[in-house]
Amino acid sequence: MVTYSSKIPKESIVEVKAKVTKAEKDVESCTQSKVELSVEEIWTIDKSAPMLPFQIEDASRVVLN
């Protein structure tokens, strides 16, 4: 499943079936730090274009003047 999901292009639409579980340690990279998802199934609904005009990382980057 990790191999499959790592090949899904960013900005694709996916459907995930997962169980919410208590995190062993706080998750620092999300707003919900006490729980995590234990993924059971992942389905690609619609793949994005391989190269989008810009990536979310580019649009989210803070520009210092």
In tens, the pLDDT along 8-23 reads 988 899 999 999 999 9
Q: What is the pTM of this model?
A: 0.60
Q: How many domains does the chain have?
A: 1
Distance CA 20, CA 11 (A): 23
Q: What pLDDT score was predicted for residue 3? A: 92
Cα angle value 52/43/32 (rounded, 5°): 80
Structure tokens given for 19 = 């169980």
CA 47 to chain centre: 14
Structural domain boundaries, residue 6: 2-47
Would 52 be classed as within a structural domain?
Answer: no
User: Does 21 reside within a domain?
Assistant: yes
Of the two residues 35 and 59, the one the predictor is more confident about is 35
Give the whole-angstrom CA distance, residue 12 versus residue 44: 7
